[in-house]
Structure formats: C-alpha cells, structure tokens
Structure 1
Amino acid sequence: EEYGGVCLNWGCVPSKALIANAHLYEKALAGAEVGIKVSGVELDVNTMQDWKNGIVKKLTGGVRGLLKANKATAIGGTARITSKNTVEVTSSGGKQTLTAKKAIVVATGSATIQIPGFEFDGKQIIGAKEAVSLREIPRRLLVIGGGIIGLELGTVYQKLGSQLFVAEALPHLLGDTDPDCTRIVERKLKKHGATIYKKALAKSYTKNPDGSLAVTIEVEGKPEVIEVDMVLVAVGMRPASKNLGLEEVGVTVDQRGFIPTDARCATNVPGIYAVGDVSGPPLLAHKATKEGEIAAEVIAGHKAAKDWVGMPGAIFTDPEIASVGMSEAEAKDKGIEIKVGKFPFSVLGKAMAMRETDGFVKVIAHAESQQILGVHIVGPEASAQISEAALSLEMAAFVEDVMLTVHPHPTLGEAYMEAAAHAIGQAIHIQNR
C-alpha cells in the first residue's frame, strides 16, 4: 500500500514508537519511587496512535522523496517476472511491460503467517499489522507465539494495561536467542503478571455470550482453556515469493519459499537478484538494506559481497536483547574452546541511576587467541550498545582491544568493557573467577 515495506509501515518503526510510549507511561506511573509524584496520569490511545502514524507518514514521505531525488520511477502495481529481463506490471491503469537493461531485483519482503482455526478477522483475531494500530487496549490478550514480534507487542499492551497470556510451541521463548538472555525477559514478564505457556499449541476458540473468547490450548498434551478478549497471532513471517513468475523463468525457490542467493545476492538465473526477507534469514531490516546496497554495487560492476560475521540483531522486549556473532552453543558445536565474561547491570552506576538494572553483557572469546567471537546483551538500551560489539567483530578485535578502549563513566557502555576484561580474568569492578 505504501513505500517502505513491512518495517516502516507496520513493523519495526510503528512498533518501536509504541514501545517507547509504553515505556514512558510505565515510568510516569512509577515516578513516585524517586520523588516525582504525578497525579492524573491518563492513557489516550487515539492520540498515541495518531502520533505514531505521523512518524510513519513522515518516513514514507522521505522514501518517496529519495526516489524522486534519485530520478527513480516508482510504479504502484502488482509485478510478475515474465522473462529473464522483463517484468509485467498490473495497475489501475492496466498492464505494462518493463524491460531491464541490466538486472531485475526481487525485494518483495515477507508476510505474516496465519494458522488454521485462527484466521484473522481484524477485530479479535489479529496479526502484527492490526496490533500496531489498536484504538482500544484489550483487557485480556493472548499472544500465540513467544518470538520477537509476539513478545515485543505483548509487552507494549501489558504495560498499557492488558492482562497478558503467551502460548509458545517451543520449550523456550525467543527461538535461538541466548537462553541466559531470554530468562531475564521471561522473569520480568512474569513479575508484571504475564502467564506464559511453553510447549503449548493453540487448538481452537469459541465466542462467549459476552463477546469474549474461550481459547483452547494444549500444554504438553493437556488441554487448557484461556478466557481472553483478543488473540494476537505472531508465529513468524513467510517469504512473499508466490505469484511472481519465479518458477516460470527458472529461479530456484526452496521448500519454505525463500530464494537462495550467493554472496553477491544473485539467484541461479543470471541477471536476477534477490534481497531482504524473500532471500532468507535473518529477517532483519538492516540486513535487507545492506543486501540492497550489495546488489546495487554488483549490478553497477563493482566488487561487493555479503559477510555477516558482524550482523547484529536486536529485540525490543523489556529489557532489550541484542546480540552479534556466535553464541556459546554455536562455538561449542564447532569445537572452539572459549572463554566467557559477564558483567551485570545491577552493579553499574548508570543502570542504577536509570532504575534499569536487569540483565548483563556477555562476551564470548576464543580461549587461546582471545579474539572476540560473540557478544550478547540483555538490559537497558541493548539495541544501542550492540553496535560497538558489531564493530569489534567486523574488525576481528581481541579482548584487549576493548579493554584498552577508554569508555566514559558513568555509561552503559562500560559494561561491555568490563565483560571483556572478565572473560580473561582481568575485571576491575567485579570479582574474577
């Protein structure tokens, strides 16, 4: 419907706007703890949504402006590849065929996965697209799926007043995220009243006379009924690769619908490239942007290739989680001897001043060379802190490089320096093992 894709229109940007507002609302309610007594704090959801929509509108307008400034022709319509160098576009004005002189780039992104029995109705059974635009806070919200999208949006509505239920099919939340990090997030969700079911499958629902929903879930094989007012289905995203004409022109599509590409973002068909979510995990906006840059460089005849050793990821739960590089499990699976350093935010002055002391920074280093292999952060502003760690991996930094970099005091960034030092037994502000 609009330029900017999922991220800008109903993904990353609007959800982070709501997350920021929910955090502010929570802080306002708790201000008395530090002597800031605010009375009459009220939640105006309509104003919040209008403000969020204003941000989205400004950014989508920015995309349009960039396209125009770079003399790109933007066409609103449905596209289908008809040959190795032609695309048929169907729009309100009819059909037209575009001929590519150099290349075709597929950047169709991904779409929300629906599950049988819980088809979206836009009112009580919703997906992420509807969840970022609610004009009323549900009294009781069930989130099916304990992944990134589900927990981020679930946290928003929990802070804004919803009683939160989460049903996750796996034995743990947040997929492959460092389990030490997810435990911190799960603990805080429960502390604030969330009910979390793991090894749980959503089976069906019925509507009660009062309009609420009775949802049946199966927890480790045993049925249980949850009474809620709204269900958010957040079980992941699927590649938007159907009906593009890919198979007809010979482009390989895997069993999950992703388009395999090489390091240059090229498909198996010369002249056709794929970037972003449609080309496979990780499904991250910044990964998609970087792939777009790489494909453009390659098409222009320059040398460029993917190298994701320093590809960070961020999860905007409470507290936030961010990571880059290997996990402990990945290193061990590869037979790499490692040293692990940890520094908790509970002993960091800046975190105390912010009243956000949950979590830690974990540094994984090669046992012999002390090269940094991975960094995992759960805590305040983890998403902002991870960039230094990503640079460390990109530059193949060693623990000593981080230790010798003077970090200003008091800041959250000191935790990374301390965790690096702790990995080799040289921490100053925490006991070494």
Structure 2
Amino acid sequence: MTQTLKTKVLIIGAGTGGYVAGIRCGQLGLDTVLVDGGDGLGGTCLNVGCIPSKAIIHAASKFETVSKAAGEGTLGITASEPAIDLSKTVAWKDGIVRKLNNGVAALLKKAKVKVIKGWATFEDAKTCRVETADGPITITAEHVILATGSEPVELPFLPFGGDVISSTEALSLDAVPGKLVVVGGGYIGLELGIAYRKLGAQVAIVEMAERILPLYDKALTDPVMKWLTDHGVEMHLGARAGGFGDGKLSITTKDGEPLSLDADKVLVTVGRRPRTKGWGLENMGVAMAGPFVKTDDRCATSMRNVWAVGDLTGEPMLAHKGSAQGEVVAEIIAGHDRRFDPVTIAAVCFTEPEIVSAGLGPLDVAGRDDVITAVFPLAAIGRALAIEAAEDGGFVRVLASKDDHRLLGVQAVGQHVAELSNSFAQMLEMGAVLEDVAGIIHVHPTLSEAFHEASLRALGHAIHI
C-alpha cells in the first residue's frame, strides 16, 4: 500500500544545494522533506566529487614529497623509496566521506528535516512518488525545490564500463594504473591526471582544444602546462579521441594522423550535464533554458512555488553556488525578501599548481582601455620561497577600473592559492577599490601579501618589485 505524505517544502536531491536548503528551511521552522535518491547525503561533491578528489590529491602530493626525498633527498631530508597501497588510500578517503555523511545527517536531524532515501518521480509539479526500500510513498508539497545536480557526460564511442571510467570510478581504484589516458583537459581531468602522475602512473592527456583549461587565459594555465611537461605527461592537444579496445585508445592528432595510445584505464572527463532525466521533470511544466531549468534571480522556475538550485540551473556548476542558492530559496519560502545576485562566484582548479579566478579576467576585458591590470609574482613573496611555492611561475593578478579603481577581477596561479579565493571574492562582493586592498595590513609572511602587492602595483607603487 502506498503511503501518503504532505509537507510545506519538498526537496529533491541531497547535494550541497539540497541539503543546505533543507537545513535552512528547518532553521526557519518550515516543515520539510528531503528525498535522497542519488549519491547519498552531500551529493556528488561530498561523495564522489569535491571532497574525495581533494583527499586523493592530498595523498598523491604526500607520496610525491616522500618520493622526492628518496635517493639524494630534498631540503636535507632523505627517505627510502615509497610504496603506495591505493586500496588503503581509498579506504582512508571513504572514511572521510562517511564522517561527513554522518555530519550532514546529524545537521538535518537537528533541523527536524525528514530524510527519505529513494528515487522520486513527479506526476505533476507538486506531487511525486518515491520508491523506497519499504515501499512507495506519495508526497505532495506546497513548495518544491529541485536540486538534482549533474552527472558526467558519456561519449557514445567511449561508453562508461570496464576500463573506461568516469571521475567517480577514478576515485575508487584499488591500484594505480600503469598507463592512464585522460580524455578531456578541463579541471576534473587535470586534477585527477596530475594526482595519478604523482602516484607513479604514466599519464597522457587528450584534449580537443588547442590548450588545456581553455576557459582560462593562457597566463593562468602556462604554469600547469609547465608542470605537466616537466613531469613527463604526454600531451595531445587539438586531438580527438576514438574507440578503445585491447588496451589501446585510438585518437586523431592535431595534424589528422591516427594514433594508438596504450591504456590500462581511460578516464573520460569531457564535462558534466544537469540531471534532468528519469524523475519526471517533463511532467512539471517548467520552462527550460537549453539543457538547464530556467530560473529568475529568486531561483524561481516558471511554475509557481517550484524552485531550482545548483547545477540544474546552469553555469557555473559549482557546489558553493548551489549552497548559496539553497539558502536564498529557503528564506524566500519563509517570507524573506531575498535575491540570488552575486557579484562573483570564485572558481578554483586544484591542479599543480592551483588556479583561482574571481570576477572578470583578461579575456573578458580584451580591447578595453578603461581597465588597469597588474601582476605580482609569487617568486617575490618570502612565504612562497620558504614553502617551495615560488618556482613554478605563480602570480596574483588584479583588474580594476581606471576611472574609480574599483576591483573588477582577481586571479592567481600557484601552490596553495586556493586559500586566497575567499579573500578575492569578498573584496569583489564588497565593491572594494584598489586603495582598500592596499590599505589593509596583510600578515607577513603569507601568500596573501601577493594580493596586497598586486594592488599596490596597479596603483603604481609596489614595494617588493
């Protein structure tokens, strides 16, 4: 017999957008049901994305550090040749994920959010049927928040399965592949490809564009390209992947020549798409914007009291965007006057070295003569030298209006610069001018001094260059 349930707010998807919306709804006293039919509480980011990938990247960097100490040593440190038991590394990573899963569950329970595990299918805009382990449940809600997230894009000639894997499987391998071919030179493929190179795999990158990370300007990506070249990663740019069989991936090079690459695993990372299939979106009557659900600045869809957050709503497909949207929607439902209208949503590539971008970059202001651009190298920062973060061409760059010196964008490339991202976003969100950043006494010695010095340089009086 089908159980029936009525609620004020129904949230579909337990990723960073959905569970944050649920917690905030609960805090605001709204009767809320959260349906988790995907990867588990925390969604893609916590279970098979952001968090586990950063854990594997961290472990890979540790392994590389010990490897450098073998033989002649580094910084006066010597060590024996290291070994890696990837199954134990993955088990450690899984423990982190479980801990965070339990944390999210506890927060939802504290907020009095009812969590139902099962797959939801909508019959109309406000009613869905959830198939659970204990039988079906029909849920009717006054408000529906769609937070179904996204999924890896599968190439028709390289379907996932066996030795052709997505980022999900790449985070749970039981051994380091001898030869790994990564199809796609975006941030996901490069993060994982670099991690496996550090762990000892022979890695090749196949990218259809003429350079890696094509959405970023060349100055930002050059240090990453240098790392890849210096560490023997085989690069095939302007190339197209073909089929895979008998341990070989066929590709067509930039010059149109056929080539076969040996591969124990082929990691396909050619993008992600919103998860719009299989849960009855077509029965809800909401308008679409291409592959995404169309929303306004309140995250409202074309159907009254149906909202959408996260990857389902379009680029940038970033976890922190979904979380912010989830909070906004919860507060709107509770009667608050809110809008989702950020000045910037900073993005980070956890490559080697890391890349941060917030606001406008050089590609966005090309041809304009009303913008000041200034770059300060990490090589001139004491902290960077002291932690071996000054040798890869890293820098911080600011863009500002010539007229009033208002910051328009900030970018950085270098080791550990991900930790500067919130400072960049904060300054842009607050409408800071160059003089604001220049007037802040930055702690010494820190990498953030490069932000200070770049702003000073834009004003014409950098101190340390």
Provide TM-score, normalisation by structure 1.
0.95
Describe the shift of the 1:204–1:227 C-alpha distance in structure 2 as closer, same or farther (beyond 3 A). Answer: same
| Structure 2 Cα separation of the partners of residues 221 and 254 of structure 1 | 36
Whole-Å Cα distance in 1 between the matches of residues 185 and 173 of structure 2? 20
How far apart, CA to CA, are the structure 1 residues paired with 2:370 and 2:457?
16
1:73-88 matched pairs, under 5 angstroms: 73-88=114-129
Is 1:112 aligned to residue 159 of structure 2?
no
Question: Aligned residue for 1:286?
Answer: 320
Match of 2:294 among 248, 255, 260: 260
Instruction: Please tell me whether the aligned partners of residues 204 and 217 of structure 1 are also in contact (alpha carbons under 8 angstroms).
Output: no
Residue 228 of structure 1 and its aligned partner are, at CA, apart by 1.9
Cα separation, 1, equivalents of 2:360 and 2:198:
32
Q: Which consecutive unaligned segments of at least 5 residues does structure 1 have?
A: none
Contact 1:213 1:230 in 2 (8 A): no
Q: Which residue of 1 aligns with 2:178?
A: 139
1:225 to 247, 260, 267: 260
Measured after TM superposition, the shift of residue 83 of structure 1 is 2.3
- What is the letter of the counterpart of residue 113 of structure 1? V
Answering whether residue 235 of structure 2 is matched by residue 196 of structure 1, we say yes
Q: Give the aligned partner of residue 139 of structure 2.
A: 98
- In terms of mean alpha carbon deviation, does 238-247 or 377-386 score higher? 238-247
Deviation at 1:420, TM superposition (A): 1.0
Q: Distance in 1 between matches of 2:153 and 2:352?
A: 25
Answer whether contact 1:246 1:252 (CA < 8 A) is retained.
Answer: no
Q: Percent identity?
A: 40
After TM superposition, give the deviation of residue 42 of structure 1 in Å: 2.1
- The corresponding residue for 1:404 is 439
Q: Shift in Å at residue 220 of structure 1?
A: 4.2
Q: Which residue of 1 aligns with 2:21?
A: none
- State the match for 2:63 in structure 1: 25
Q: CA deviation at 1:176?
A: 1.2
Which residue in 1 is equivalent to 2:362? Answer: 328
Asked if 1:243 corresponds to 2:278, the answer is yes
Provide the residue aligned with 2:330 in structure 1: 296
Deviates more, 1:174-183 or 1:267-276: 174-183
**Residue aligning to 2:32:** none
In structure 2, the residue matched to 1:4 is 42
2:106 is the counterpart of 1:65: yes
Tell me the residue number matched to 2:200: 161
Counterpart amino acid of 1:128? S
Question: 1:143·1:233 contact (CA, 8 Å) conserved in 2?
Answer: yes
Q: Which residue of 2 aligns with 1:353?
A: 386
Alpha-carbon distance in structure 1 between the residues aligned to 2:67 and 2:255: 38
Across the two proteins, how many residue pairs are aligned to each other?
422
Q: Which residue of 1 aligns with 2:370?
A: 337
Q: Distance in 2 between matches of 1:20 and 1:315?
A: 14
**Paired residue for 1:51, among 78, 92, 98?**
92
- Amino acid corresponding to residue 243 of structure 1 in structure 2: G
Q: 1:84 touches 1:271 (CA, 8 Å); kept in 2? A: no
1:271 maps to which residue? 305
Say if 2:358 and 2:410, in contact at 8 Å, map to a contact too. yes
8 Å Cα contact 1:26/1:159 also seen in 2 = yes
1:259, distance to aligned residue in structure 2 (A): 0.5
Conserved? CA contact 1:109–1:278, under 8 Å: yes
Deviations 1:109-166 (A, max 9, x none): 0011100221111x41100000001111111111000001100000110000011100
Q: Which amino acid aligns with 1:189?
A: L
Q: 2:133 corresponds to which letter in structure 1?
A: S
Question: Does the CA contact (< 8 Å) of 2:66 and 2:79 recur in 1?
Answer: yes
> Contact between 2:180 and 2:267, CA under 8 Å: does it hold in 1?
yes
Query: Contact 2:376–2:395 (CA<8 Å) still a contact in 1?
Result: yes
Letter in 2 for 1:56: V
Cα deviations by residue, 1:184-238 (Å, 9 ceiling, x for unpaired): 101111110011111111012220xxxx324333434322221222100000101
Judge which range, 244-253 or 70-79, deviates more.
244-253
> For each residue in 1:159-178, what CA deviation from the matched residue of structure 2 results, as whole angstroms up to 9, or x when unmatched?
00011100111122113123
Partner of 2:244: 205
Kept in 2, the 8 Å contact 1:277–1:288? The answer is yes
Q: Deviations along 1:406-428, whole A, 9 cap, x unmatched?
A: 11111111011011111222111
**Gaps spanning 5+ residues in structure 2: where?**
1-38
Secondary structure (helix, strand or coil) at the match of 1:293 reads: helix
Match of 1:366 in 2: 401
In 2: Cα distance, 1:227 partner to 1:296 partner: 50
Aligned to 1:184: 223
Q: For residues 106 and 205 of structure 1, what CA distance do their matches in structure 2 show? A: 37
Q: Is the 8 A contact 1:370 1:399 kept in 2?
A: yes
Q: Give the corresponding residue for 2:51.
A: 13
| 1:215–1:228 Cα contact (<8 Å) kept | no
Deviation at 1:347, TM superposition (A): 1.9
Q: Deviations over 1:253-287 (max 9, x none)?
A: 233x2101111110011110000011111010111
Of 69, 76, 82, 1:35 maps to 76
1: CA distance, partners of 2:369 / 2:115: 49
SS at structure 1 position matched to 2:409 = strand
Q: 1:43 to 1:76 in 2, by over 3 A?
A: same
Amino acid at match of 2:68: A
